Structure 1
Amino acid sequence: MNTYDFVVVGGGSAGSVLASRLSEHPDATVLLIEAGPAHGPERTTVPAAWRSLVGTDADWGHSTVPQTGLNGRTIAYPRGRLLGGSSGINAMMHLRGHRAAIDLWEKEGAEGWGFDDLLPYYRRTEHTEGRDTAVRGTDGPMRPRPAAPPHPAAQACFEAFRTRGFPVADDLNAPEAEGVTWTELTVVDGARQSAADAYLRPFLDRGNLTVVTEAVAQSLVFSGNRCTGVRYLRDGVPLIARADVEVILSAGAVGSPHLMMLSGLGPAAHLRGHGIDVVADLPGVGANLSDHPLGLAFFSAGRDMPTGQNNHIEVVGVTRTDPSLAYPDVQLFFMDVALALPGGQGYALGFSATAPHSRGSVTLLSADPSVAPAIDPGLLSDERDLETMLTALLMARDINSAAPMDPWRGQEAIPGRSLDDPGRLRTFLRERGATTYFHPVGTCRMGSAETAVTDTRLRVHGVEGLRVVDASVMPSIPAANPNPTVLAVAERAAEMIRAQHG
């Protein structure tokens, strides 16, 4: 058994931030445990290759339970399994979302976690250029930049958005921005920049920082109601890491609740049903899973499509289906490949309901840590989300019909123009047109609500010495790709931890 001040479980976006920031204090010893390897396949670094990483050794390879809202379909649920976590396999889109979506957290019981509270930490993560320095960072580790050079078909689609009334947003990461913009990507010198690349790898030579990869956490260790360490397997050898100060779970919206339930933290009846002794009865562990549904409309091209040089998603727009809404509830984007068509020839318009009402769960299937949990994001289980997705699909079609797309437009292949009745389009979305946007959050929500798992300093209720810091603590989902918000939450958590422990 080795002893450290802090043991961080999970080397993804949040874990990379925490291990880096906590080890800045030379007297604090930090262990980071990551289940995956230090590096993924070589193509992990190639922006255009991100879709090919699903199903590789860099992916946990999860799948959902049958989705009632998707007519019983089971869908793949990829999560990153390498240093950098999902930031090592995602599409590298850097979008914060609207101020009002984060302000909602306070209304949901997370006092002190409004947008203005989080803004300094958003800024701390970033190194941007040519942006408003009041809201964007200039000396942080992550280096988001607009996609460049733009694909010629993306340029046409940008104009199509404008033709359809989308205002041009100079910076869609400004607090209340809305409209169409060039996607900011975490790509540096033509290569992916994961959270591990930005926060962790430059500091691996710190004597007080230990990073152990291919080490799979099995359970938390408790002495009474205090969490004192982590049991993990490495090369088949069972090991224990002791934490003198804190254990911090950063295993993500699937991994963190799974490890907590395996360790006796969760809904008491559910744990006992799997023969697990209850350390703390926390009904909210694994509940409140929220994810963005995603749809893609595929089109053949009316001319040869050049090969995309970036992440294939260079243009993104956000809007509201109802002007009375507090913030945009739809995201649309142009993709310069048609994944569902032979050879990928063609293009797609993606659409997502970014303020979903549907909720799901992560629950145990077994007390065996090697058995993945049951993942139920509940996609389109709330009829309101289906209606939003239908509206978004019609918006995507309308953008594609705008004059700037004339030189590129071929035929609509999926869903196909023969599907023009709203009822048939709803059936299409449920049967094959909707899937996940890979954005799970909320399964260890913070705050004062009855189902809250942590307090607003991210300390787990009912026990000592344990915090959760990752997407699982978000009370509700940001109205955008969550990774920038995960980084900001982790930056703030690191400051809280250092303030508490010196």
Structure 2
Amino acid sequence: MENFDYLVIGGGTAGCVLANRLSEDPATTVLLLEAGAADGPPIMSDPALWPMLAGTEVDWGFSSTPQSQTDDAVHPLARGKVLGGSSSINALLHFRGHPLSYDDWETAGATGWNYQSVLPFLKRSETAPGRDPSYRGTSGPMRVGPSDQVNPLFDAVMDAAIETGYSRTDDLNGADGEGVSWSEVNVVDGARQSAADAYLRPVLHRRNLTVLTNAPARKLLIDKGACRGAVYSRGNEEKTAYARREVVLASGTIGSAQLLMVSGVGPADHLREVGVDVVADLPGIGENLQDHTLTPISYSASQEVGRAFVRRPLIRFSSGLSGQPDLQIIFFDFPLYPRARPGAESGYTVTVSLMKPASRGSIRLVNADPSAHPLIDPNYLGDERDMDRLLVGVRQARKIGEAKALTEWREAEVAPGADSRNDSDIRHYIRRSLFSYNHLIGTCRMGTDTHSVVDPYLRVHGISGLRIADASVMPSIISGNPNATVLAIAERAAAYLASSE
């Protein structure tokens, strides 16, 4: 039996922030539990090799249920299982949501989580040299900026985007939330900088901080409406850790919802169905699942395309169908065929992401075993408005791909191909090609209504001593890649805990 002031469950992006900030007070003891290993394979540090990490020992290996609107495909869902979590295996993009994304949170009941309120915590997490300090951080642990390596293909892509009508901006994370800019990444001295690299490894010497890896949590200890700690396993042993102050769940959109449910906290009827004794009936746990998706428009190249981790353009824009920026276009220096299958030929891909999907999915338990993967149903394209927005995105991607600026590079469109031109053909292609951006959020939604899970201070409704601080608390998905925002959520959670709010 172990006693600490704080128990943080999950050593991913949010958990690394929390472990650092909570242990800044030498009088405060912190235990961080991570289910994965302390480190991963050498390729994890090489920014160019990020596509090789999915399916390895540092990936949980989750997958969706068959998705009826994508030809019953089962979609791989990569989530990091290592210190740093998904920040250790992702494509390294540091891309905030548009300001309206955060304003949406407050409108949905997350009082005090509008853009102006979140901005100080977005800034606190980062150092962004050369950017406007009114919007960007100057002394945070994460170093962010465009890659310093260049590829003439992407210079041509930038020209193609401008030719097609997108406004060039210096900083999509700053004052200008729409247009085309060079993407910012988490790379330092040519190597990946995960949240573990930035926040955790520099403070592992602190005597008041204990980090246990290969230590998955199995159950929360809840007694008389209060969370006291957790049971976790290490090797063949089960151990118990107690928190004198609070337990903070930072296990991610899948992990936090699953651990709550196997601990008896969740939709009562569902818990009884799978043999879990009900501790607290919180029907919103596991609901509200959202994800970004990707649809590739791929080209073979008329000259060799170099492969390296280089600066590349990023576009955020509006479909005109939702009242705010809801589409993103990113570019790869290789061709992608349906379901993210890379082509062998030299080429490039103009990839459309739906950033504000209307569809909502769910996570449910298979049984009461905490080690069993849950049923994950993102409900891709379940709302027909998502297809309408993607149609706009595909048309825009093709305009870029066919621009004069790319004439010297473009050989032919290889997916979906020149024959797919009408709306019916494109809809069919979207269904058979769409794949996950691995940006799942929302299963422990913040708010004040009966289906919310945490209040605006991230405290779990009806259970004292328990908070959640990860992507699961987002009421709605942001029009940006989630990692930068998860850093901010964890920074704010740490501030709440430090001030006993």
Structure 1 residue identity aligned to 2:332: M
Deviation at 1:122, TM superposition (A): 0.5
State the distance in 2 between where 1:134 and 1:14 align.
24
Deviation at 1:306, TM superposition (A): 1.6
- CA distance change for structure 1 residues 45 and 499 in 2, over 3 Å: closer, same or farther? same
State the distance in 1 between where 2:175 and 2:211 align.
35
Deviation at 1:327, TM superposition (A): 2.2
Structure 2 residue identity aligned to 1:335: F
Corresponding residue for residue 333 of structure 2 = 336
Deviation at 1:175, TM superposition (A): 4.5
Corresponding residue for residue 464 of structure 2 = 464
State the distance in 1 between where 2:171 and 2:145 align.
11
The answer for unaligned runs of 5 or more in structure 2 is none
Corresponding residue for residue 43 of structure 1 = 43
Runs of 4+ more than 4 Å apart: none
Paired residues in the alignment total 497
Structure 2 residue identity aligned to 1:321: S
Corresponding residue for residue 405 of structure 2 = 404
Corresponding residue for residue 321 of structure 1 = 319
Corresponding residue for residue 423 of structure 1 = 424
Residue 268 (structure 1) aligned with residue 265 (structure 2): no
Aligned-CA RMSD value = 1.1
Deviation at 1:149, TM superposition (A): 2.0
- Is contact 1:102–1:115 with CA below 8 Å preserved after alignment? yes
Corresponding residue for residue 303 of structure 1 = 303
Deviation at 1:307, TM superposition (A): 2.2
Corresponding residue for residue 476 of structure 2 = 476
Taking structure 2 as the reference length, what is the TM-score of the superposition?
0.98
Could you give the per-residue CA deviations for residues 145-165 of structure 1, whole angstroms, max 9, x where no partner exists?
112222110110000000001
State the distance in 2 between where 1:78 and 1:260 align.
21
Could you give the per-residue CA deviations for residues 392-424 of structure 1, whole angstroms, max 9, x where no partner exists?
111111101111100100111111111112101
- Is contact 2:275–2:367 with CA below 8 Å preserved after alignment? no
Deviation at 1:341, TM superposition (A): 4.6
- Is contact 1:98–1:175 with CA below 8 Å preserved after alignment? no
- CA distance change for structure 1 residues 211 and 357 in 2, over 3 Å: closer, same or farther? same
Could you give the per-residue CA deviations for residues 38-65 of structure 1, whole angstroms, max 9, x where no partner exists?
1111000000100100000000000000
Corresponding residue for residue 385 of structure 2 = 384
Deviation at 1:68, TM superposition (A): 1.9
Corresponding residue for residue 32 of structure 2 = 32
Residue 227 (structure 1) aligned with residue 222 (structure 2): no
Deviation at 1:308, TM superposition (A): 2.0
Taking structure 1 as the reference length, what is the TM-score of the superposition?
0.97
Deviation at 1:338, TM superposition (A): 1.9
State the distance in 2 between where 1:29 and 1:223 align.
22
SS at match of 2:412: strand
Structure 2 residue identity aligned to 1:281: D
Moved more, 414-423 or 189-198: 414-423
- Is contact 1:99–1:175 with CA below 8 Å preserved after alignment? no
Corresponding residue for residue 68 of structure 1 = 68
SS at match of 1:185: coil
Deviation at 1:342, TM superposition (A): 4.0
- Is contact 2:319–2:327 with CA below 8 Å preserved after alignment? yes
Structure 2 residue identity aligned to 1:392: G
The answer for unaligned runs of 5 or more in structure 1 is none
Deviation at 1:345, TM superposition (A): 2.1
- CA distance change for structure 1 residues 341 and 37 in 2, over 3 Å: closer, same or farther? closer
SS at match of 2:86: helix
State the distance in 1 between where 2:40 and 2:389 align.
36
- Is contact 1:293–1:436 with CA below 8 Å preserved after alignment? yes
Residue 217 (structure 1) aligned with residue 214 (structure 2): no
State the distance in 2 between where 1:210 and 1:488 align.
23
State the distance in 1 between where 2:254 and 2:279 align.
20
Corresponding residue for residue 147 of structure 1 = 147
State the distance in 1 between where 2:416 and 2:389 align.
17
State the distance in 1 between where 2:377 and 2:413 align.
31
Deviation at 1:233, TM superposition (A): 0.8
Residue 372 (structure 1) aligned with residue 370 (structure 2): no
State the distance in 1 between where 2:118 and 2:253 align.
20
- Is contact 1:126–1:144 with CA below 8 Å preserved after alignment? yes
State the distance in 2 between where 1:354 and 1:498 align.
33
Could you give the per-residue CA deviations for residues 223-248 of structure 1, whole angstroms, max 9, x where no partner exists?
22111111111112111111111111
Within 5 A, what are the aligned runs for 1:3-402? 3-310=3-310, 314-322=312-320, 325-339=322-336, 340-343=341-344, 345-402=346-403
State the distance in 2 between where 1:341 and 1:266 align.
40
- Is contact 2:126–2:137 with CA below 8 Å preserved after alignment? yes
